[in-house]
Amino acid sequence: MKLNNIEYLKHQDSGNFFLLAGPCVIESEELTYRVASQIKEITEKLEIPFIFKSSYRKANRSKADSFTGIGDEKGLEILQKIKEELKVPIVTDIHNPSEAALAASYNVDVLQIPAFLCRQTDLLEAAARTGKYVNIKKGQFLAPYSMKFAAEKIEHSGNNNVILTERGTQFGYSDLIVDFRSIPEMKSLGYPVVLDITHSLQQPNQTSGVTGGRPELIATMAKAGVATGADGLFIETHPEPSKALSDGANMLKLDYLEGLLKGLIPLKKACDMF
Q: How confident is the model at residue 3 (pLDDT cuts 50, 70, 90)?
A: confident
- In CATH terms, 26-271 corresponds, of 3.20.20.70, 1.25.40.10, 1.20.58.100, 3.40.50.1000, to 3.20.20.70
pTM of the model: 0.94
Average pLDDT, stretch 217-237?
97
Which residue has better confidence, 170 or 10? Answer: 170
Q: How confident is the model at residue 26 (pLDDT cuts 50, 70, 90)?
A: very high
How many degrees, rounded to 5, is the angle at CA 59 between CA 18 and CA 95? 65
Q: How far is CA 110 from the centre of its chain?
A: 10
- Give the C-alpha distances (Å, rounded to integers) separating 37 from 25, 83, 129, 212, 253: 16, 11, 31, 28, 15
Rg (CA), the chain: 17
Predicted pLDDT at 89: 97
Average pLDDT, stretch 99-126?
97
Closest CA to 247 of 218, 224, 215: 215
pLDDT at residue 247 is higher than 80: no
* Domain residue ranges in the chain: 26-271
Predicted pLDDT at 206: 66
76 Rama sector, left if φ>0, alpha if ψ -120 to 50, beta otherwise: alpha
Task: Decide: helix, strand or coil at residue 138.
Answer: coil
CB neighbourhood size of 185 (10 A): 18
Predicted pLDDT at 213: 74
